[in-house]
Structure 1
């Protein structure tokens, strides 16, 4: 398999899960401003949507969108810990991925598509806060180590990656105690440390 990624982008979640399932895979960096890969390929020829992640499962067979890529990778976990094979447990993982992708991701994304200042920036911060508060309240109520039961999974990886963006946009994440505690646990995983090092995000 090959993952087309951009450092620190949402494709980092797929990179983390690839490390978790311990399979051989290649990485190819994508410059999202020029839409070319590090090998000089036109990225639109690989993924006509133009954004990451794109997972090449076999030559010419491409899967896109985190809500599809992350469960697909997680189901290859030999320990069967990352995502339940069926039933309510799997549905809960997909529910979280849907919320993170359609709501939280979009709330952060406005900072990357335009320059926000003044009241517009404050409104955008407030929208992130509103969406993260739902996650915070949920984590405060449940007696589990991660978003779904006691096993790390794709939703935890995705939440970690999205909330990483707070630092880059000047968003105050310190008010979310439960989320920060989960982030600390996730950050210690070897899969996360390796992915962030490979993408040049940490030394």
Structure 2
């Protein structure tokens, strides 16, 4: 398998899961401004959508979108129990991935690219805060160690990555103590530390 990624972007979640698997894979950095890969390829020739993560899977099949890539990777090693094979437990993972992708991820984007006026910025922070408050309370009340059970999985990796974006948009996470503690726990994982180093983030 081969992952095309941009450092610190949402593709970081897939990179973390690949390192959790401890299986051989290749990774190539993409410049999302020029749409050139590190080896000089035109990234649009690999993924016409032009964004990451992009995974070259078995047989050269190109897979895009975190909601597809993360479950696919997580099920590569069933012994790690990163995602349930069926039923409500699997559905809960997909529910979290959908929420993180379509709501929380989307809410951060105007703070990066919106060129917002003061009121627009205030509204954007408020939307992010509304989702983080929900997540913080969920973490406080769940009986499980991770978002969807007692094993680290794709939703945990994705939440860790999106939460890290607050440091880039001058957003304070300290009101969300349960989320902060959760992120600190994830950050201590060997695969997470390895991935952050590989992407030049630490």
Given the two structures, how large is their TM-score scaled by the length of structure 1? 0.96
Alignment-derived partner of residue 47 in structure 2: 47
Q: Gaps (5+ residues) in structure 2?
A: none
- Secondary structure of the residue aligned to 2:57 is strand
Q: How many equivalent residue pairs?
A: 202
Alignment-derived partner of residue 149 in structure 1: 149
Q: Are positions 1:84 and 2:66 aligned together?
A: no
Alignment-derived partner of residue 70 in structure 1: 70
Alignment-derived partner of residue 37 in structure 1: 37
Range that drifts further, 160-169 or 77-86:
77-86
Q: Gaps (5+ residues) in structure 1?
A: none
Distance (whole Å) between structure 2 residues aligned to residue 48 and residue 112 of structure 1: 23
Distance (whole Å) between structure 2 residues aligned to residue 75 and residue 63 of structure 1: 15
Alignment-derived partner of residue 186 in structure 1: 186
Alignment-derived partner of residue 200 in structure 2: 200
Q: CA deviation at 1:78?
A: 4.4
Range that drifts further, 131-140 or 163-172:
131-140
Q: CA deviation at 1:17?
A: 0.2
CA RMSD in angstroms comes to: 1.1
Asked if structure 2 preserves the Cα contact closer than 8 Å seen for 1:10 and 1:158, the reply is: yes
Q: Are positions 1:25 and 2:25 aligned together?
A: yes
Q: CA deviation at 1:115?
A: 2.1
- Secondary structure of the residue aligned to 2:4 is strand
Distance (whole Å) between structure 1 residues aligned to residue 115 and residue 191 of structure 2: 33
- Secondary structure of the residue aligned to 2:79 is coil
Distance (whole Å) between structure 2 residues aligned to residue 61 and residue 156 of structure 1: 26
- Secondary structure of the residue aligned to 1:28 is strand
Alignment-derived partner of residue 130 in structure 1: 130
- Secondary structure of the residue aligned to 2:171 is coil
Asked if structure 2 preserves the Cα contact closer than 8 Å seen for 1:20 and 1:77, the reply is: no
Distance (whole Å) between structure 2 residues aligned to residue 111 and residue 59 of structure 1: 38
Q: CA deviation at 1:116?
A: 2.5
